[in-house]
Amino acid sequence: MRETMTDQKKWVWPSALLLIFALAGFWITRSYLQDARSLQRPARQLQSFQQVELMDSKSRTVPLQRYTGQPKILYLGYSHCPDMCPMALSNLSRALKQEPELQTRIQTIFVSVDPERDSPDQLGRYEKQFAPLRLAALTGTEEQVQLLATDLGARYEKAQATPGTSMGEYGVNHSLLFYFIDEENRLVATTPSGISPDAILDAIKLHLID
């Protein structure tokens, strides 16, 4: 009996944490869906798209201006992120899979806020985790990444990692948002990156698709 009680206790905390994450995701999605248009903003030209040059997973220089003419969803994150980044990109992939024509129309961009560890090779492996999402995973110098983040109104900073996590020696606290950018490189909306695939799809249709 004692062994059974001990086994049951082992599952209490993991189950409780899963419930908390599920409720948090539900609350974020519900709040977003109740007032999606509140996140829409007057289109603002992103000057950084004329200035910033990054590097892709094949070590090629990529001016952000290259993506002019395409509607874009941009996410700032890092490949050693143990939870929020992979969840956001997985949900984005699931959203676009619901309407395959959008996968070729929407360019998704992941910009690393951890250029120290996110080499082109590392980002190449990271891209493959979210196939068939048409994801451009980019890295660059600290100066170039900071210029883009400032233009977006995003923030990030290194943080001491919790012992025993998969983040390595440090983590990176960063804004948890999707940035919706139109064909003319104007920031038209942001959404929380923790919303559901269905809510992401609704946001794409609201903010990027005529």
| Per-residue b or e along 166-203, where b marks 16 or more CB atoms closer than 10 Å to that residue's CB | ebeeebbebbbbbbbbbeebebbbbbbbbbbbebbbbb
pLDDT at 17: 42
pLDDT at 37: 46
pLDDT at 19: 45
How many other C-beta atoms are found inside a 10 Å radius of the C-beta of residue 83? 11
Please tell me the distance from the alpha carbon of residue 61 to that of residue 72, in angstroms, as a whole number: 19
CATH for the stretch 35-207 = 3.40.30.10
pLDDT at 131: 85
User: For residue 132, is the peptide bond before it cis, meaning its omega torsion is within 30 degrees of 0?
Assistant: yes
Phi-psi category of residue 56: left, alpha or beta, with phi > 0 → left and psi -120 to 50 → alpha: beta
Give me the residues of the chain with pLDDT under 50, please: 1-3, 5-6, 8-38
pLDDT at 164: 64
